Structure 1
Amino acid sequence: MKNLIKKMSLACIALAMLSCSDDDNNTPQQQTIAAIAAGNSDFSTLVTALNRTGLTATLDGNGQFTVFAPTNAAFQTFFSSLGSNVTVNNVDVNVLKNILLNHVVATEIKSTDIPAATYVSTLSPISTAANAPTISMFVQKSGATVTINGGVDSKGAVVSTADVDASNGVIHIVNRVIQIPTLVDHVVDNPEFDTLQTVVTSTGGAFGDQSAVLSALSGLTAASPATLFAPNNAAFTSLISELTTAGISPTGPQFSSVLQYHVVGGNVRSTALPSVVSGSSAGVVPTLNGQNITISLTGGAKITGTFSPARPASNIIATDIQGSNGVIHVLDKVLLPTL
């Protein structure tokens, strides 16, 4: 009897194990990002675009990605903005590829992991050069709403459906095609640059007419980029207090000089700063207004200007916000040239 009970117990255990094995085998395999897109009729334009640009294999393979996926309607709006007869089938394939890569981040980012505001790097390169820097994406979250690059009022988008899980990452469905931002677009999109935007876009009043400065920044190209050391809102608040205390009231042309003093030629990434500091110029760099700034890495990256009396250095508090025609580094203090 004991042997019979023992045999029955073993049989029950084996049956239970077999049942679990069958359950595992019946569990549906999670699909890749490319497969999910192919199975959704509202992504048919996206699928065509991926096939045309050779990116289907990337999003069907290994790795972990975050894809901000535009719907058919989003693509239609984008193509219409390029011309009445432009479609996914006839748009320049290189333009299409860069746009698609501007929607992809090479890591999985769930909506719950997005902070109030952050920058991430997309896979869209600024040029065809080997190891070219890639475009930055500004992501904001307020409550459950995720906004990309300033949303639909700018050149960005809003996430309409978040966290479509895939075997190789996650999809967030967006209501617009996310266009590649310029240096000026990045200033416009980030609320931390609201005061800088106000000054640069001024056409009169306290800041004077800065149309020429805005035109110069807007006219930058990928072939002729610039680096903007951008003061944040707090930096401008501090400057206004400083100037008021000193009894200084800059004129419009002087504000123009101050703005130009924050721009240097070339796409100078943070990785290039050490060579700038250790070079023959010892960190002295000419700016758009014709005067020099001095960059130092001692005790953290900082910049000093030529204003007299000497002011505390401006600290670089964020780096490498990459646009199509230049890069931004954020400052905690406005630089002042000799006025």
Structure 2
Amino acid sequence: MKHKRFFSGRWHWPLACILLLTACSKDDVKPANPYVKTGIAAVVNNNFSLSLLNYALASTSFDDTLSSPGPYTLLGPSNAAFQAAGFSSGADIIRGRDSINAMIPYNILRGQFRLDSLPLAFNQPLYALNGQAVYVTHWINSRDTAVVVNGVRVTALDKPAANGLVNITGGILAPIAYTNIQQAVSGDPALSLFNAAIIKSGLAATYQSGGPYTVFAPVNAAFFAIGITTTDSIYHMDPVVLQRIVKAHIAGGRNFIYDYILKADPDTNAYTEKMLGGDNAIITLVLDFTQPGRFSDINIQQEGAGSIATLTRKNILAGNGVVHSISGILTQ
């Protein structure tokens, strides 16, 4: 009995305190985040072909985002995609951190989407972390099966991570910078004469709303070639004539260049596009000499006309369409 009284009287409270402190310390320890080792950021970190993307995620702290529950779908530009955009090293990424910081959330989708399980359709909108739409084409024809986002081909699809999926893309997706196609045209100094034609024709308000539209905008040199050399020359032209010129270069619908590659007849490598002015434009595919059997660009000409225009810039995305710059005028 004395032994029991000694134990309970002398040792009961210290032992209880030790047990209480142990319980408190266990409660205070935060559970490990499982996504740090198995999430999207970890998958990127372990993929050598995404080392520049990994650097970009770390330098903008989006690696923390992609180590959280999500789910997310990453459209991850390859090292070659970063290099083509002028980011060949970590130092380049640091110097361009502002643009990288704006770009990264446009390359991350909210939710988990198996891109190769989407319906066979062109330019299906999905929404990125920055709230803007990206446009996903999933298409099959007799020579190709492709998933393309904003005209950029996805080269590796749907690699699983604990908090979503990782895709590798052949280019960087740039966030939408223009509200409408007229604004996109006006934002390019090389298109100042075509922009003047849109304004003088009275069609600017039309292309600031509605749509979507696909614009094949002639560069200034194309106007020079037919004797129109200044915006003043444009402002002295008949608005009806200018409307015909403008509408000959705009089609309904949102079409990136790779969409035309997928839509073209596999036998003729050509596609006929109906322009808003009523004329047909014939689009022909240009071989990609770096990838046998693939196509990289298009040429375009008015049906029945001899002049062929080539691309000088492509896939400039606006809120209500896409703008491509071309080397020639499609109507005479």
Larger Rg over CA atoms: 2
Q: TM-score, normalised by structure 2?
A: 0.45
Alignment TM-score, normalising by the size of structure 1: 0.44
